[in-house]
Structure 1
Amino acid sequence: MNRIARVWATMRLLTKVNLIVGTVLLLAFSYVAVTVYFGAASQVRYASNDFPGAKKAASAFLTLSPIQRHIGYYNRGTAEAAVGDFDPAQTDLESALEITPPAHECAVRINLSYVYEKQADQVADQDPDQSKELYDRSLKTLEDAPEECQPEKSEEQQKSDEAKERVEDKKQGQQAKEDGTEEDDSEGDDSQDGDQSSEGSEGDSDSGEDEQGEESGEDEKPDDSDEGKSESEKKRDELKERGENSEKNQQQQGPGGDGGRSTPEKPW
């Protein structure tokens, strides 16, 4: 009887241990499954243009997961950038960059550069100095990418090069607009001085034009080429054209535009 009792007690103990271990494993599996679900849900909802849903899923992932938190910050920042919430997107993507492994940094840097670029676009007309600073920050974010994340001729390198070229064009266009404005101001001052000096010689020029008209016997046709323009006028026209092109590109890259990027790269 004592032997049977001992066996029975041992079996009851093993059953309790198995139940406890099974419960712990089930809870752990459920925890991992829910965490993975929210990580994947942020990608699926982003792909279906459900950006608020993608943000919520990424936030839930951050709440649950103690590991790979850079994925949560990256996905949430990407969803925020997609709807134009660039300030919180900047915070999340900068947090992601601090803890992302070097091999995966390029994805974070490309979207963080995109956020800086869009912030620069927003203040380009109101604060040109801040706009240039943000364009520089956008370029530096791309240039500081480690080699591990952008092997030669890789997709990451191609995306990074395209982003650099786009930001450089915007930066040069912004500078061209400023230079064109300064050039217009200086031309206005010169023209005022020229008008004052020409008043004294107006009579002489009229008589000279009459004599030339009599000698030629025919009217001269206006010349539309750049040959009749001074160097300052040519430079002014060139700067003005570059500034207009930059502004046009910025408008095309906004919501509904057909040029450049209107949303950041997809999340992980």
Structure 2
Amino acid sequence: MNRLKGLWSRLRRITKINLIIGTIAALVFSYIAVTAYFGTASQVRYTSNDFPGAKRAASVFLHFSPVQRHIGYFNRGTAEAAVGDYDAAQADLEAALEIAPASAECAVRINLSFVYEKQADEVAGQDPEQSQELYDRSLKTLEDAPKECQPDESEEKQKSETAKERVEDKKEGEKAKEEGDDDEDSQNEDSQDESSDDEETSDGDEQQGSEDEESEDSGNKSEREKKREELEERGEESERHQHEQGPRGNGGRSTPEKPW
């Protein structure tokens, strides 16, 4: 009898231990499944142009997951960039870049460079100096990418090179516009000074001098305008190309390509 009681007691203890272990295992499995679901859901919803849903799913992933958090920041930042919330996207993508492994850096850098580029586009007409600084930051973000994430002939390498060309074209185009505005101001000042000087000369000298100056200015202006127009056309063509890439999201905005 005592032996049976002892056996029964041991069986009960074993059963309790197994139940505890099973419960813990089930909770761990559920936790992993939930975090994996929201990590994947943020990408699926982004692909289907549900950018608010992609952002919410990425936020839930960040709330639950203690590992691979760069994926959550990257997904949320990319969704924010897709709807034009570039300041929030910058903060999330910079956070992702700080903790991303080298093999995943290119994906983060390409989208972060995109955000800097769009920020530069927004201030180009009002603050050329800040615009040039943001274009430089965009280029540097791409240039600092480790080789581990962009082997030759890889998709990441091609996307990075395409982004570099686009940003360089925009940078040169904005620089040409700024130089063109400065040249126009300088020509206006020169024209006013020449007009004052011409009043003191004879009618014949005034006519001959005016023709020579107009001919010389016309030649110089033509070269400057050709260069400026060429760079502006390259910048506009690059902007149209970026606008056509990827699906359209909320508000008709063009979206950045998502490398992951």
Q: Answer whether TM exceeds 0.5 for this pair.
A: yes
**Residues 1:114 and 2:114 aligned together:** yes
Residue of structure 1 in register with 2:19 after alignment: 19
Deviation at 1:187, TM superposition (A): 1.2
Change (3 A) 1:47 1:67: same
**1:76-155 map, 5 Å:** 76-155=76-155
Question: Where in structure 1 are there 5+ consecutive unaligned residues?
Answer: 209-226
Residue of structure 2 in register with 1:258 after alignment: 244
Contact kept? 1:252, 1:260, Cα under 8 Å: no
Residue of structure 2 in register with 1:237 after alignment: 225
Residue of structure 2 in register with 1:201 after alignment: 202
Q: When the two structures are superposed, what TM-score results if normalisation uses the length of structure 2?
A: 0.87
Change (3 A) 1:140 1:204: closer
Q: How many residues align?
A: 247
* Larger gyration radius, structure 1 or structure 2: 1
Change (3 A) 1:138 1:205: closer
Contact kept? 1:80, 1:88, Cα under 8 Å: yes
Residue of structure 2 in register with 1:223 after alignment: none
Residue of structure 1 in register with 2:35 after alignment: 35
Question: Where in structure 2 are there 5+ consecutive unaligned residues?
Answer: 209-214, 248-253
Deviation at 1:239, TM superposition (A): 4.4
Change (3 A) 1:174 1:43: same
**Aligned-partner Cα distance in 2 for 1:198–1:244:** 36
Residue of structure 2 in register with 1:6 after alignment: 6
For each residue in 1:55-106, what CA deviation from the matched residue of structure 2 results, as whole angstroms up to 9, or x when unmatched? 0000000000000000000000000000000001001000000110001100
Q: When the two structures are superposed, what TM-score results if normalisation uses the length of structure 1?
A: 0.85
- Secondary structure at the residue paired with 1:40? helix
Residue of structure 2 in register with 1:64 after alignment: 64
Contact kept? 1:177, 1:242, Cα under 8 Å: no
**Aligned-partner Cα distance in 2 for 1:20–1:260:** 50
